[in-house]
């Protein structure tokens, strides 16, 4: 049976793909099997992937698998970090800090021909990279060749400035980091010129989803116990990560959340923050 993807393309429905995504979110095999069977029984030709996701997500929540439901909603949760993309930049910065990098954001760096504002400049003991952050809040969007060309041109200019070659400040790599997938042409070009791409499920190992799993840094937009309005308030106050509110009753009460609800929110956030409970 054909289903419709977010970009309008159609593909054959794969029940195993759905089942594996549920298991990866932490759902028990019994729950994953039940939800998959339920979705398949109600599947109609041409149904959208968003409808299928929403149905599976609702069933997962009813099974009282809140942490699994939160993880299953990860891709949408990252989309909800917009619309400006500012919170996504903060989110990515925190991921690389957790991986041992010193990170600066919005830094002006001189290239050989021009000065460039670098979204994130990340430095570890043996690696420094300049990263361009591209955020999109539309399902199905893919980052294409034009963006890859632009990002590599900037990185190439930075790399060609000899002042950037000192050991403490040598920029080893240029990164294009996004919450979307990439077009095949962008991937081909990046491999050819040596531009590092990090996106949704790209590369096969070490993509954005994997980085979130490794660091257990889930955005607060994952939390099923928060309303959309509450998520927005917290994001507006630079509270991007679940760990920002884990054990922090005061910050939740400050934003008008009742003590009982605050307890449930903190419980869900705490489970997501545990090592080894990634998506």
Domain boundaries defined on the chain? 2-65, 86-214, 217-273
* Region 248-257 average pLDDT: 89
For residue 278, what pLDDT is reported? 44
For residue 24, what pLDDT is reported? 76
Q: What is the pLDDT of residues 71-102, one digit of tens each?
A: 777 888 999 887 766 789 989 999 999 999 99
Look up the CATH architecture of domain 86-214: 3-Layer(aba) Sandwich (3.40)
The fold for domain 217-273 equals: DNA polymerase; domain 1 (1.10.150)
Q: What is the pLDDT of residues 34-65, one digit of tens each?
A: 888 888 888 888 888 888 888 888 888 777 55
Taking all residues of the chain, what is their mean pLDDT, rounded to a whole number?
Answer: 88
What is the spatial distance between Cα 150 and Cα 201, in angstroms, rounded to a whole number? 22
* Region 210-225 average pLDDT: 91
Is 156's pLDDT higher than 90?
yes
| Residue 217 vs residues 93, 112, 237: alpha-carbon distances, Å | 11, 36, 18
pLDDT band at 279 (very low <50, low <70, confident <90, very high): very low
Integer-rounded Cα Rg, in Å, for the chain is: 20
Q: What is the pLDDT of residues 122-143, one digit of tens each?
A: 999 889 999 999 999 888 899 9
Q: What is the DSSP letter of 199?
A: B
């Amino acid at each position: 049976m054909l289903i419709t993807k977010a970009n309008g393309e159609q593909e054959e429905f794969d029940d195993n793909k759905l089942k594996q995504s549920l298991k990866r979110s932490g759902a028990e095999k019994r729950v994953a099997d039940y939800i998959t069977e339920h979705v398949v029984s109600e599947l109609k030709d041409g149904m959208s992937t968003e409808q299928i996701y929403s149905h599976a997500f609702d069933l997962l929540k009813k099974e009282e698998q809140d942490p699994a439901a939160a993880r299953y909603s990860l891709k949408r949760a990252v989309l909800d970090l917009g619309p400006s993309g500012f919170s996504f930049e903060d989110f990515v910065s925190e991921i690389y800090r957790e991986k041992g990098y010193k990170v600066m954001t919005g830094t002006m760096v001189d290239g050989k021909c021009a000065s460039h504002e670098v979204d994130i400049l990340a430095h570890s003991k043996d690696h420094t990279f300049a990263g361009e952050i591209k955020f999109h809040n539309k399902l199905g969007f893919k980052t294409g060749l034009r963006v890859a060309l632009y990002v590599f041109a900037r990185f190439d200019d930075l790399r060609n400035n000899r002042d950037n070659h000192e050991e403490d400040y040598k920029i080893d790599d240029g990164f294009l980091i996004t919450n979307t997938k990439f077009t095949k042409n962008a991937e081909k070009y990046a491999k050819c010129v040596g531009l590092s791409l990090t996106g949704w499920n790209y590369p096969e190992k070490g993509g954005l989803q994997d980085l979130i799993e490794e660091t257990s840094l889930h955005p607060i937009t994952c939390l099923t116990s928060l309303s959309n309005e509450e998520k927005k308030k917290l994001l507006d106050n630079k509270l991007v990560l679940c760990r920002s509110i884990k054990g922090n009753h005061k910050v939740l009460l400050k934003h008008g959340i009742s003590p009982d609800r605050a307890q449930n929110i903190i419980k869900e956030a705490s489970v997501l923050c545990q090592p080894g409970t990634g998506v």
